[in-house]
Amino acid sequence: MTFPIENPALQRALVARGYTEPTAVQLAVLEHDAEDRDLLVSAQTGSGKTVAYGLAFATTILGAEERFPPAGAPLVLVIAPTRELAIQVHGELTWLYAQAGGRVVSCVGGMDAREEARALNAGAHIVVGTPGRLQDHINRKRLNLAAIQVVVLDEADEMLDLGFKDELEFILNAAPTSRRTLLFSATIAKDIAALARQYQQDAMRIDTVARNQPHADIEYRAVRISGHEIELGLVNLLRFYEARGTLVFCATREAVRRLQGSLLERGFDAVALSGELSQNERNNALQSLRDGRARVCIATDVAARGLDLPDLDLVIHADLPTNKATLLHRSGRTGRAGRKGMCILLVPNSKRRRAEMLLASANINAAWADPPTAEEIRALDQERLLSDPALTEAPLPEDIALAQQLLARQSPESIATALIRLYRARLPSPEEISVQYQPPAATARPVRAANDRASHERVPRENLPFAKRDDGAPMTWFRASVGRKNNADPKWLIPLICRMGGITKAEIGVIRIFDKETKFEITQAAADRFQAATHAAANADMVIEASSPPGAGPARDLGPRPGKAKLARPARPERPANAKPNEQERRRKNKILKPR
């Protein structure tokens, strides 16, 4: 099916760009019923929305003409929530309207406002910008909206989430009321519907999103890992998949800086993308990813909306998204325009329940797995080496001559060994992940807390140093350097133990709280990885170490119990039998013998 458009210039632009068949949203906005009407469109991320609305307003601003007249006051205003999306939209509309003589100007924060003012003064047919910068140009009389025929709100839900409601209302009120208003959003929530009712007239609703259905072109996986090994797991995932382009999402700018530095030290071609970078730095990072100079981009949620990176095959959530919308928008950076993609969530053991709820809310059925091991990666490296295109490509004559010289001086085994070393030298080393997740027993005994007066008979002597759980699972004991004097309580001890040790609540047994320490059971199956995890996640306020069961080994001097301590009287010196009582003793005896 071809694009149902009549403008020859736009047809040539689409063919030159490789657009041969319209997507669902592109076809919907080009229907006869949608012509010259306000549109309220919800469409899946990566569905070609930019080209869709670029074609939708073509008949309004071009009519039957093939080319634009000389540029003057802008005819179309496109508003986008982020700088990256605005710059991307500017690029898309530039090639779409290039053969029609269209002049597209961008106005985004972080760029030179004076240069933008000069571009606006020279005339434009289409202006693309972010809300704050557009409002600033309007206030300074640099942007004249008198001739505006179409206003497009791209990712309207994100603009409202970012707090741009006042700026949007200011811009929409400044534009002529006779304009067309095209509102595009991933979902049509209540606030979006209210905005549409206020600023649109007889809008046509177009919904191309299959409700409660995840992106069909994205494969989702959830990788279980201990909290202190997330970075190691990320390294192994990057090495295992060797994707042409990977986007790794972190929750904070600090995490982006730290992770990028760590990957660079390991030999990965990694760039960073966060709000603290200048616009030029952000543009350079994205361009490096598009050009293939960088294969990994570490980013905050500033990259979660609208970005189209053609060779992005893999999205990794190093930090779990905060909600369903963020999960879908982050993941939607891959699997775009019919291409297949993969999305991986790194799930610490202590956050598994949260990850399950997040996936369920998005109706995503993710495959759960452990991170790739170093052995698996090395085996895959061997397969990749044996099938490397460099071994199958036709050699050049000068290469053959050099190869013959090498064979005359070295044995084939020496040359092959050197090739293997050169191949491995360019690959970052995989990481040894010592802590592997093991699911807890199906039936687990509820956690019990006891004080130091509890009976020791519940720990059978014949089973030391292990105790048996009610479900038969063998246990081992650990101690934490906090007790009643530190207000130790299972309500906060259990989450802290789980977080530090990378275990679940079901893998904890009896907890016994003493004055200066707390002893607790961990399943024997989880004991080794728990000990390794607590050692790696050292906490100055609480030390966790292996211990003997309560009552085993030499007794500890736990000190007096608060509120019940009795100090022993010092021994009195012996007095001679015939010694007379002193005055103090006489008064005490008289007080005791005095009748009441």
Is the pLDDT assigned to residue 345 strictly greater than 80?
yes
Above pLDDT 90, what percent of the chain?
Answer: 37
- Which CATH class for the 448-546 domain? alpha beta
User: Distances from the Cα of 408 to the Cαs of 302, 402, 411, 420, 498, in angstroms?
Assistant: 57, 10, 8, 20, 62
How do residues 541-553 score in pLDDT, each as one tens digit? 788 888 888 876 5
Segment of 157-171, 251-265, 268-282 carrying the highest mean pLDDT: 251-265
Query: What confidence score (pLDDT) does residue 21 get?
Result: 84
pLDDT at 583: 60
How does the average pLDDT of the chain come out, rounded?
Answer: 82
User: Who wins on pLDDT, 337 or 99?
Assistant: 99
- Helix 374-386 and helix 412-425, axial crossing angle in degrees, nearest 10: 130
The topology (CATH level 3) of 218-375 is Rossmann fold (3.40.50)
Q: Whole-angstrom Cα distance, residue 2 to residue 4?
A: 6
One fold for both 218-375 and 448-546? no
Structure confidence by residue, pLDDT tens digits, 517-540: 999 999 988 888 888 888 776 666
pLDDT band at 222 (very low <50, low <70, confident <90, very high): very high
Number of C-beta neighbours around residue 129 at 10 A: 27
Based on its alpha-carbon atoms, the radius of gyration of the chain, rounded to whole angstroms, reads 35
Domain-wise residue ranges, the chain: 8-207, 218-375, 448-546
Crossing angle (nearest 10°) for helices 352-361 and 324-331? 80
Better-predicted residue by pLDDT, 595 or 509: 509
Indicate the pTM of the whole model. 0.62
Query: Which residue type sits at 375?
Result: E
Q: Is the pLDDT of residue 446 over 50?
A: no
Residue 169: pLDDT band (50, 70, 90) is very high
Q: What pLDDT is attached to residue 439?
A: 46
Q: Which residues of 263-274 are buried (b: 16+ CB within 10 A; e: fewer)?
A: beebebebbbbb
User: In this predicted model, what pLDDT tens digit does every residue of 65-79 receive, in sequence order?
Assistant: 899 999 999 999 999
| Of residues 469 and 277, more confidently modeled | 277
Please state the length of the chain: 596
- Domain spanning 8-207: CATH 3.40.30.10: no
Distances (CA, A) of 212 to 324, 339, 408, 508: 11, 21, 66, 37
Query: Using one digit for the tens of pLDDT, what is the confidence trace for 305-319?
Result: 767 777 788 999 999
| 364-408 pLDDT tens trace | 999 999 899 999 999 999 888 888 888 888 888 888 888 888 889
How confident is the model at residue 468, as a pLDDT? 45
